[in-house]
Amino acid sequence: MQVLQVQLEVGPDPAEVGRARRWARSRLLGSGIGADEPLAETLILLISELVTNAVVHTGCPAVLRMLVPSAAQGVDHGTVRLEVADVSDCPPRQRHADRDETGGRGLELVDGLADRWGWQPEGAGKQIWCEIDRSALPGTSVPPQAAAALT
């Protein structure tokens, strides 16, 4: 199976999260995943959370990678993998935010939306990754309020 792999270097600025979302949308369109598909919205939300975590919690640059099965293989097959690598060797820590807290839900969201996620050392830092099985997505969608926050 052919896989399209693209990457974006992200600076240590929270404004880079929006740039990463826009970049990812354009790359997804080129891979045969329509912007209005639930898969696209889910992937953009996952990218937003992973890049935000890297930028906010490390204060360091990061690299976003997307690995998408080629459109020639059929848009409803294969696994889409997202990776965010940074230079911090601190492992990610899933929190359980209280109802009134404004943060601390990122990895819970990733855990709920992705089929799998994890982390591993990469160079002097780490890589956090998640995967979505494209064939397992019919009927799955991002809640309207979450999708609105991504635009």
CA 33 to chain centre: 15
Q: What percent of the chain has pLDDT over 70?
A: 79
**Which structural domain, as residue segments, surrounds residue 55?**
3-149
The three-class DSSP label of residue 5 is strand
User: For 141-146, what is the mean pLDDT?
Assistant: 42
Question: Does 131 score more than 60 pLDDT?
Answer: yes
- How far apart are alpha carbons 31 and 29 in whole angstroms? 5
CB 43 within 8 A of CB 75: no
How many structural domains does the chain have?
Answer: 1
Kind plus residue range of the DSSP H or E element containing 108: helix 106-113
- How far apart are alpha carbons 21 and 25 in whole angstroms? 6
The CATH number of residue 138's host domain is 3.30.565.10
Look up the pTM and report it: 0.82
